[in-house]
């Protein structure tokens, strides 16, 4: 079995613009969460990632034309920016690492996923589409541009079984919905709109002629000129399909991985593993597997999430897993819900023998194995069997005895599932294991959160002392205390040398358990 090492890492997290700030902030037991105010003044706390992407302009402009920085910042959403920043940080952990990844070329892979994707871009484009569709339908449903509606009105509005409710007959609370249905219905009946679309089809039917590149640009310009003239002739608004930003395509889930491969200039496999809240552990497993199989020598692994957005905050609240009382909800305490955070974590892992032979220094700990499973139970509520299977698989693959594990980091989301997770843990591990739970510190970063927690574990083992958490010993939930009471509370704790574990449990039942050992 090939040994795997971590040779670079970078982080964007709440209160932490880089890995150095992240490590420094871990020394405090204070929470990094702040008020959301995404719905106006509200009672949610979130982890707002700290990042000024201008800090990375010199790196980009030293390698690419000046326009590349503007292109990235104008087209890419926050998940991609978080991932790029973390990747550049990771390169800087070992001098010469960037050149070696480029030299390896097809043997450098990129597996960087996302749980939520770029919600902000999708949300903004959806709103733009909604308003554009309403303007479009209103225009074509007006009687002066709709012979069918005009005739129907002139005939005294005879009964039609499918006609929607007239918006003029409803109250203000229902006006938007009924207007959209009314306008949409009559626009679809408009002979004038069909005439417009027929002319548009004729314009769009033109083919590229002559030289492909010159012909393509000539065709695009000619089509746009004719389309603009058609709209002007009719006085029509912008059609809804033109209102959607192309940034929706630029920011699909594999965008971060693709941008990293382009910035690093290597040609190995690049894609986005999607494992929800277990995303980082899944990416790490796939990267380790690729190196073990000999398909890659180095893999950039990670997970990235957007800035907290009303869509995810609202969705998580409606799913009854989000705290909403303006106070930090700490794991293993009140169990009233988690807090959403944004940011990214990127590691560069590699074949131990190859990388160390070139003088690269491994960081943190040595990842031994990742066990994965699925609950096959419920979309959100964890099962007993699924997480235990991933733990047992990880221990077996790592060739580590449960009795030898010295420390463990929980997924622990400050929901009732914490009790089951600790119960599962004690079914497998001894009472001597020292346990951490860190979502009270930086919140639930979805896929990135597991990477933050694992990095915090690695940083702690590097110094032989685990960083504190916001939880005071007196706050430990009595039911959980009956199961286990050896936790890292609000003071740092020395950790015994030996194997350590970290479990992540994702929405959909995805589980990923990482077993690691201290470096020599």
How far apart, in whole angstroms, are the C-alpha atoms of residue 432 and residue 438? 20
Res 158: pLDDT: 92
**Is 135 domain-assigned?**
no
Number of domains the chain is built from = 2
206 DSSP assignment:
P
Q: Is residue 335 domain-shared with residue 296, that is, in the same domain?
A: yes
| Inside any domain, residue 136 | no
Please check whether residues 77 and 189 belong to one and the same domain. no
Alpha-carbon dihedral 480, 33, 454, 255, rounded to 10 degrees? 130
Q: Are residues 190 and 262 in the same domain?
A: no
Smallest CA-to-CA distance from 409 within 285, 516, 501 is with: 501
Residue 232 buriedness (CB in 10 A; 0-12 / 13-18 / 19+): exposed
Closest CA relative to residue 408, chosen from 293, 495, 314: 495
Residue 57 lies in a domain: yes
Based on the domain organization, do 358 and 453 belong to the same domain? yes
Q: Are residues 8 and 110 in the same domain?
A: yes
Handedness of CA 129, 130, 131, 134 (dihedral sign): positive
Beta bridge partners of 6: 349
**For residue 175, what are the CA distances in angstroms to 135, 167, 168, 170, 187?**
15, 6, 8, 6, 18
In a domain? residue 133: no
- My answer on whether 335 and 480 are in the same domain is yes
Distance, first Cα to last Cα, the chain: 18
**Contact status, residue 344 vs residue 305, Cβ threshold 8 Å:** yes
| Helix H or strand E encompassing 176 | helix 175-189
- Among the candidates 190, 222, 242, a domain finishes at 242
Tell me, yes or no, whether 199 and 340 share the same domain: no
Q: What per-residue confidence (pLDDT) applies to 453?
A: 98
Predicted local confidence at residue 262, as pLDDT:
98
Distance CA 505, CA 328 (A): 21
Q: Are residues 434 and 481 in the same domain?
A: yes
Interatomic CA distance for residues 254 and 272, integer angstroms: 5
Residue 112 sits in the same domain as residue 168? no
Asked if the structure places residue 34 within a domain, the reply is: yes
Residue ending a domain, choose from 215, 242, 269: 242
Rg (the chain; Cα; Å)? 27
Q: CA distances (Å), 225 to each of 206, 216, 220, 258, 442, in order?
A: 13, 14, 9, 34, 52
Q: Are residues 114 and 164 in the same domain?
A: no
Please spell the DSSP secondary structure of 481-505, one letter per residue.
HHH---B--SS-EE--SS-EEEEEE
The pLDDT value given to residue 480? 97
pLDDT for 381 equals 82
Q: Are residues 410 and 494 in the same domain?
A: yes
Question: DSSP letter string over 117-165?
Answer: --HHHHHHHHHHHHHHHHHHHHHHHSGGG-HHHHHHHHTT----TT---
Q: Do residues 341 and 454 both lie within one domain?
A: yes
Could you list the residue range(s) of the whole structural domain that residue 503 is in? 4-118+251-518
Phi, psi of 290 (to 5 degrees): -65, -40
Q: How many helices (H) and strands (E) does the chain have?
A: 20, 14
**CA–CA separation, 8 and 366 (whole Å):** 13
Pairing of strands 500-506, 510-518: antiparallel
**Residue 503 in contact with residue 511, Cβ under 8 Å?**
yes
Does residue 29 form part of some domain?
yes
Tokens 């939880």 identify what position? 471
Task: Note the pTM of the prediction, 2 decimals.
Answer: 0.95
CATH number at residue 37: 3.40.47.10
Half-sphere exposure of 8 (CA within 13 A, CB side): 26
What is the crossing angle of helices 279-292 and 447-463, to 10°? 70
d(CA 87, CA 80): 10
* Burial class of residue 123, CB neighbours in 10 A (0-12, 13-18, 19+): middle
In a domain, 339, yes or no: yes
DSSP H or E run through 318: helix 310-318
Residue that terminates a domain, selected from 242, 260, 286: 242
- The residue assigned the tokens 């897993």 is 321
Q: Using 70 as the pLDDT threshold, list the residues of the chain that sit under it.
A: none
Q: What share of the chain is helix, strand, coil (3-state, %, to 5)?
A: 50, 15, 35
Burial of residue 37, with CB atoms counted within 10 A of its CB: 0-12 exposed, 13-18 middle, 19 or more buried: exposed
Phi, psi of 279 (to 5 degrees): -60, -40
Q: Which residue has the tokens 């907290």?
A: 308
Supply 38's token pair.
């995404």
pLDDT at 214: 76
Distance CA 380, CA 416 (A): 12
Tell me if 297 is assigned to some domain. yes
């Amino acid at each position: 079995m090939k040994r795997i090492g971590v040779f670079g890492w970078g982080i964007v997290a709440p209160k932490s613009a880089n890995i150095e700030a992240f490590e420094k902030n871990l020394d405090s037991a204070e929470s990094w969460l702040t008020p959301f105010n995404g719905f106006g003044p509200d009672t949610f706390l979130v982890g707002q990632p700290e990042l000024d992407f201008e800090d990375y302009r010199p790196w980009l402009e030293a390698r690419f034309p000046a326009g590349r920085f503007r292109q990235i910042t104008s087209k890419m959403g926050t998940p991609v920016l978080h991932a790029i920043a973390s990747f550049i940080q990771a390169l800087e952990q070992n001098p010469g690492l960037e050149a070696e990844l480029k030299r390896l070329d097809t043997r450098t892979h990129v597996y960087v996923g996302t749980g939520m994707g770029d919600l902000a871009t999708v949300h903004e484009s959806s709103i733009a589409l909604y308003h554009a569709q309403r303007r479009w339908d209103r225009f074509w449903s007006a009687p002066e541009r709709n012979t069918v509606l005009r005739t129907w009105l002139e005939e005294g509005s005879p009964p039609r079984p499918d006609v929607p409710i007239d918006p003029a007959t409803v109250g203000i609370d229902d006006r938007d919905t009924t207007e959209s249905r009314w306008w949409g219905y009559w626009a679809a009946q408009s002979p004038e709109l069909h005439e417009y679309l027929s002319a548009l089809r004729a314009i769009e039917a033109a083919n590229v002629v002559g030289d492909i590149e010159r012909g393509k640009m000539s065709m695009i310009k000619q089509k746009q000129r004719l389309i603009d003239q058609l709209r002007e002739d009719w006085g029509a608004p912008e059609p809804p399909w033109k209102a959607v930003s192309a940034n929706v395509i630029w920011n699909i889930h594999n965008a971060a991985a693709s941008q990293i491969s382009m910035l690093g200039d290597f040609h190995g496999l690049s894609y986005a593993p999607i494992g929800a809240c277990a995303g980082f552990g899944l990416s790490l497993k796939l990267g380790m597997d690729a190196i073990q199989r000999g398909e890659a020598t180095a893999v950039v692994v990670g997970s990235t999430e957007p800035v907290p957005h009303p869509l995810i905050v609202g969705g998580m609240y409606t799913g009854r897993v989000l705290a909403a009382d303006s106070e930090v909800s700490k794991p293993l305490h009140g169990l009233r819900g988690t807090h959403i955070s944004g940011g990214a974590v990127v590691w560069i892992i590699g074949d131990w023998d190859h990388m160390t032979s070139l003088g690269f220094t491994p960081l943190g700990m040595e990842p031994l194995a990742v066990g994965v499973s699925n609950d096959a139970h419920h979309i959100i509520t964890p099962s007993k069997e699924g997480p235990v299977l991933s733990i047992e698989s990880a221990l077996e693959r790592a060739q580590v005895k449960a009795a030898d594990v010295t420390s463990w980091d929980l997924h622990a989301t400050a929901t009732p599932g914490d009790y089951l997770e600790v119960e599962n843990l004690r079914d497998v591990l001894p009472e001597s294991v020292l346990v951490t739970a860190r979502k009270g510190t930086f919140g639930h970063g979805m896929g990135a959160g597991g990477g933050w927690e694992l990095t915090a574990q690695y940083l702690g083992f590097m110094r032989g002392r685990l960083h504190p958490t916001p939880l005071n010993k007196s706050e430990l939930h009595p039911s959980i205390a009956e199961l286990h009471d050896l936790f890292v509370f609000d003071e740092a704790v020395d950790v015994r040398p030996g194997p350590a574990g970290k479990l992540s449990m994702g929405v959909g039942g995805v589980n990923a358990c990482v077993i690691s050992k201290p470096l020599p």
